[in-house]
Amino acid sequence: MPTATTPIRLDRELDTAARDAARLMSRSVAEQVSHWARIGREIERSPEISVSAVRDVLAGREHYDRLHPPEQALVRTAWNEQLAERLATLDLSRVFSAEGHRYAELDDNGEIRVITPESRD
């Protein structure tokens, strides 16, 4: 017997991640999101994981080294997601150019190219 479903809105990043994971795991997107939700529920219920301790580390109120390994894994996952989001929006060439800094980058052939504020055009 099929289960009832409830439509939900996902942010773009989660939707993309769910679609990618669903393809790899031969699931529908809805099945993938449900799978992740069940995992999250079990983590929150786990006696080995203190969600509040993980939250405190992520907020900077507690030290990472005081967490148990499963809690540390959750923190590292959150940090990786935060870093990926930050890197996706980072445009150092724009910042350096706006501030008049010179910088180097590799061109399409792997050659070093020095960019000065005057050569940016």
93 confidence band (pLDDT: 50, 70, 90): confident
CA separation for the pair 115, 34 (Å, rounded): 48
User: What pairs with residue 100 in β-bridges?
Assistant: none
List the structure tokens of 99: 């501030």
Same domain, residue pair 37 and 86: yes
Same domain, residue pair 17 and 59: yes
Same domain, residue pair 77 and 106: no
User: What is the value of pTM for the model shown?
Assistant: 0.56
Same domain, residue pair 82 and 117: no
63 confidence band (pLDDT: 50, 70, 90): very high
CA separation for the pair 64, 71 (Å, rounded): 9
- The stretch 14-21 carries a mean pLDDT of 91
Domain ranges, residue 55: 12-90
Q: Is residue 21 part of a domain?
A: yes
Q: Is residue 2 part of a domain?
A: no
What are the helix (H) ranges across 1-121? 12-25, 29-45, 51-58, 69-89, 92-99
